[in-house]
Structure 1
Amino acid sequence: MRSIYIFMPLVFLQVCIGQNRDTFTNPILQDGADPYAYLHEDDYYYFMATRGNRLDLWRTDDLTQLESVIPTTIWSPPETGPNSCCIWAPEIYYIDGKWYVYYTGSDKADEGDQSRFVFVLENSSANPMEGEWIDRGKVNTKFNGIDGSVFQYKGILYFLYSPYVNDHSDVAIATMSNPWTLNDDESILAAPKYDWEKTEDRSILEGPMFLEGPKDEVFIVYSAGACWDDNYSLGMLAAKKDSDLLEAASWKRFPKAVFEMSKENQVYGPGHHGFTTSRDGKENWLIFHAKDTPALGCAQRSARLQHFKWQKNGRPDFGIPWSLERKAQKP
């Protein structure tokens, strides 16, 4: 009886520990504005977030453990020049055997929207935590703007960003001749239209991100409003997979936000997102930033991770932002 008495509590303890290791709660990173995660073929996630004065890169096999991972600073801005300050919204990609980081930068001597552009770094090392990052300079966009993102579809490399057009920010697209050069086909797909896309200070569409659906549509999901507004939320465009993605007429605009603030769950200003999957590719995950207290402006944005599903019509259902108390199975 004594051996049974000892064995049973140990089994119970092991089960409890196993359950704890298999679940997580948000946030996954307390200081995590503009989060982005890229799952590479080496089975590691490469994560980035806005740091303002540098580019940091995390490498992990568990996105829910970012707080315990020490990032590597892969680049710091020069003392002067067009990308000398305000380093925002970095995203990392692996394209044709090389690594690329796209980020927003501005000129310290003329800081402001008029000098904000998207810049590119390149690294030919197999492991982006190693090797040399080469500055490929500013992307040749038609407008000054922010939040550059790329995607490859049907053998074509596309670039998305948020250009400053007059007194508002839009969603624009172009094809690329290489990972740092746009072709002369840039077009604007959407400008702020609905009340939830506007604030008293500015009307903003930003952070556009491509998402391929399981059926006959592809999507561009963007952030609307402003990071300082609690109503900051996600909007969506949809196009048929066989359409011309450069044509604004190909894209259907959704009149309501597809992911928005939840006062009940104390999630404010959810936005500036990315998409990834579980390591086995079977689960789809939305990564985004949000605040747990209202009226904080752009401060205290933490990175969150949340599972999403596909509806029967092949469109994403992002659900309601999870509360910080909710326990979920890890990706």
Structure 2
Amino acid sequence: MNNKKNSFRTPILWCLLFFSLYGLNDGNAQLNQNQLKFKNPIGNGADPWVIKHNGYYYVCQSNGDINSKGISVSKSNKLSQLGKPVTVWNTPAAGWNSSQVWAPELHYFNKKWYIYYAAGKAGPPYIHQRSGVLESVTDDPQGEYVDKGILNTGVDAGNETGMIWAIDVNVGHIAGKLYAVWSGWEQNATTDKTSQHLYIAEMSNPWTISSARVKISSPDQPWETGGPLDLNEGPQFLMRNDQVFIIYSTRESWTPEYRLAQLKLKDPSKSPLDAANWEKRGPVFQGTAKVLGTGHASFTQSPDGKEWWVFYHTKKSSTPGWARDLRLQKFTWRTDGNPDFGIPIPAGVSLPVPSGE
């Protein structure tokens, strides 16, 4: 009788031991996951671009300061931690794009990677900036790229490039068609103290702008003016639930007044090439006494797809200049479908890591 009792108890004891070891550890793992934190800034630099692909986050940046001559791509399975940058392209020794590489962006179409960037033959003054595109040789975003040439951002037959000054090209699909949006001048000038506007055009493929440009925004609101130079730049498509937004930067990137604003496509069933189909509001994200010059953002989702995050830069001091760092912040959506970026959180504050990380 006692032997039967013991044989009955033994499996129960093993089950209790199993759940105490593995079940409890799993609970602790979940608890630790919920307690994971990160702090801003997560790196140095400006104009951060991030894209999520097959479980990894790829960040594309120019190598160095405003006078950069190369482009790098980093890879990480965590949004809150940057990977090691790998240089994927250096400027040629001469030509329109031999210097001043600004704000590169990495995009994926038809099993190829494309990098959109601005560059110039010299500067300062920064009057030579034009935009071009690189295409990957393979499916590896950190691999080799070939130069597909300059983009048609406005024709100027009197200029050696044949194009009008343009930076910050961003691309996206709207109703099955590919569009480019960028910051440009109305016409080429001999001074970089020239106002910048936002333009949009249709593309026939990832390296060819096929329609005339259409101006969809100028710095014409009180919160876009009042500094040393009125500008609109850094436009980024942000799309959700069939709604199309362009989040852009306004005021001056070298001052604490840099901020984000928004264009919304009023009727997505109608052409985005109709300037009247865009409505403006702002600022939608701006600095505080502790966070200066919030701007030039990109957007992605958490590893599990449950959260939206804005990746942006801020100034390191109130002194005019381009010393900046990189920051992440979760944002939400309003009931009317508009993004709600909230207020920028100061550096050094512990924040929960993105969901699923």
Task: Tell me the TM-score normalised to structure 2 length.
Answer: 0.82
From the CA coordinates, give the structure whose radius of gyration is larger: 2
Q: 1:145 aligns to what?
A: 166
Q: 1:211 aligns to what?
A: 238
Q: 1:159 aligns to what?
A: 180
Counterpart of 2:343 (choices 308, 320, 326) is 320
Q: 1:126, CA displacement in angstroms? A: 1.7
Q: 1:49 aligns to what?
A: 61
1:234 aligns with 2:284: no
CA contact (8 A) 2:34 2:352 kept: no
Letter in 1 for 2:314: A
**Secondary structure, in 3 states, of the residue corresponding to 2:81?**
helix
Partner Cα distance (1:315, 1:17) in 2: 33
CA contact (8 A) 2:100 2:119 kept: yes
Q: Which moved more, 1:287-296 or 1:73-82?
A: 287-296
Alignment gaps of 5+ in structure 2:
1-20, 155-163, 188-193
Q: 1:297 aligns to what?
A: 321
1:211/1:226 CA distance change after superposition, 3 Å: same
Q: 1:199, CA displacement in angstroms? A: 4.7
Deviations 1:67-95 (A, max 9, x none): xx321000111111100001010100001
Q: 2:11 aligns to what?
A: none
Letter in 2 for 1:305: L
Misfit runs of 4+, over 6 Å: 14-17
Deviations 1:277-321 (A, max 9, x none): 11222211101000243224222x111111000000010000000
1:229/1:310 CA distance change after superposition, 3 Å: same
1:36 aligns with 2:49: yes
Deviations 1:87-118 (A, max 9, x none): 0101000011110001110003x654431011
**Secondary structure, in 3 states, of the residue corresponding to 2:276?**
helix
1:64 aligns with 2:90: no
Partner Cα distance (1:212, 1:22) in 2: 29
Q: Which moved more, 1:201-210 or 1:162-171?
A: 162-171
Report how many residues are paired: 310
CA contact (8 A) 2:227 2:252 kept: no
Task: Tell me the TM-score normalised to structure 1 length.
Answer: 0.88
5 Å-filtered alignment, 1:100-249, equals: 100-108=114-122, 112-130=125-143, 132-142=144-154, 143-165=164-186, 167-214=194-241, 217-239=243-265, 240-249=267-276
Q: 1:310 aligns to what?
A: 333
Cα RMSD of the aligned pairs, angstroms, is 2.1
1:27 aligns with 2:41: yes
CA contact (8 A) 2:79 2:302 kept: no
**Secondary structure, in 3 states, of the residue corresponding to 2:55?**
coil
1:72/1:148 CA distance change after superposition, 3 Å: same
Letter in 2 for 1:139: L
Partner Cα distance (1:175, 1:223) in 2: 22
1:115/1:296 CA distance change after superposition, 3 Å: closer
Partner Cα distance (1:312, 1:35) in 2: 28
